[in-house]
Amino acid sequence: MPLTELGLTPGTWLLLVGLGGLLAVDGVSFPQIMVSRPLVSATLGGAALGQPGGGLLVGAVLELLSMRHPPYGAAKYPDTGPAGLVAGAAYAAAGAGSIEALVAALIGGWATGWAGSYAGHARRKLNGHLVANQQALAARPARLERLVLGALAVDFGRGALITAGFLLPVTLVAGLAAGLRVAGGGAAFGAAALVTALAASVGAGARTTAPDGRAWAMVLIGALLAASTLWPGP
């Protein structure tokens, strides 16, 4: 695909960068209504470039790939807001139709998510410094209220910077990948590897949700029922 057809104008880029900041804030700081989940953020990214369905596909795959990284306590987990937004926008910009662009967008989204995670780790350390002097905060509690506003601004800046840093490169790579169609066997390999990765991730992620081994039976029943509707006989 020619890069001029990607549709990522400066205005769209700016909109997505601002949106990336807001989604990053939703992830942890405020208000956690889960617009930061990749299912939502990737759809928003895709919608910004005219392909909400393509964005949703990328978001759903990222959602299942990140299932085994729940945000428990101080655990590190991908920052899914900017990740989904970047991946959804990149796939949509690349035309939302090829396995090559899908793989590029997913890898770009995964990288964005972990970059956001490490930036979030730095933000947690910064917060620790900000609230270290508890005596001073107790004496002037209004300072704590200003610190919260400052922390939200820092988190917004973190998300916006991560989105700004990854959006254009990932979109360009996805656009290039869409233009460089791999051979038939290569495309089949890509689909096989991606579906297998998805299944492995789902199997691993199910362990965080399921109470015991009986869960596997229900996963199997759901899969077989869906498969029976999709793969009808001759």
Partner 1 sequence: MKPLPRDMRHAWRRTFAVQSLWNYPTMLGAGLTYALLPLLRRIHAGDPPALEAAVRRHLDSFNAHPYLSAIAVGALARLEFDGVAEDEISRFRTALRGPLGTLGDRTIWAEWRPLCLLIAITLFGVGVRPLVCVLAFLVPYNIGHLWVRLWGFRRGWEHGRGVGRLLREFPLERLTDRLWPVTMFLLGAATVLLGRDIVEAAGPSAERLPLLIVAGLTAVPAFRWPNRFGRLAIGLLLSIPIIWILLALAGWGP
CB of 110 to partner 1, least distance (A): 7
The residue from 6, 16, 17, 37 that contacts partner 1 (CB under 8 A) is 37
CB of 10 to partner 1, least distance (A): 26
Q: Which of residues 120-149 bind partner 1 (CB under 8 A)?
A: 124-125, 127-128, 130-132, 134-135, 137-139, 141, 144-145, 147-148
Q: Which of residues 153-192 bind partner 1 (CB under 8 A)?
A: 155, 177, 181-192
Task: Determine if 197 is a binding residue for partner 1 (CB under 8 A).
Answer: yes
Given the complex with partner 1, which of 59 and 165 has the nearer CB atom? 59
**Phi (first) and psi of residue 214, to 5 degrees:** -60, -25
CB of 28 to partner 1, least distance (A): 5
Give residue 8's region: left, alpha or beta (phi > 0; psi -120 to 50). Answer: beta
For 192, the token pair is 């096989």
Residue 120 CB burial class (10 angstroms; 0-12, 13-18, ≥19): buried
**First-to-final CA distance of the chain:** 36
Place of tokens 């081994």: 213
Q: Tell me the number of residues near partner 1 by CB under 8 A.
A: 108
Sequential DSSP letters for 25-56: HHHHTS---STTSHHHHHHHHHHHTT-HHHHH
Q: Which of residues 48-107 bind partner 1 (CB under 8 A)?
A: 52-53, 55-57, 60-61, 63-65, 67-68, 70-74, 97-100, 102-104, 106-107
Task: Determine if 205 is a binding residue for partner 1 (CB under 8 A).
Answer: yes
CB of 12 to partner 1, least distance (A): 18
The residue from 43, 80, 117, 171 that contacts partner 1 (CB under 8 A) is 43
Task: Determine if 3 is a binding residue for partner 1 (CB under 8 A).
Answer: no
The amino acid present at 65, given as its one-letter code, is L
Given the complex with partner 1, which of 79 and 100 has the nearer CB atom? 100
Given the complex with partner 1, which of 10 and 61 has the nearer CB atom? 61
Output Rg (C-alpha) for the chain, integer angstroms: 20
Given the complex with partner 1, which of 10 and 141 has the nearer CB atom? 141
Please list the alpha-helical segments (H only) found in the chain: 10-28, 38-48, 52-65, 80-93, 99-130, 134-139, 141-179, 184-209, 214-230
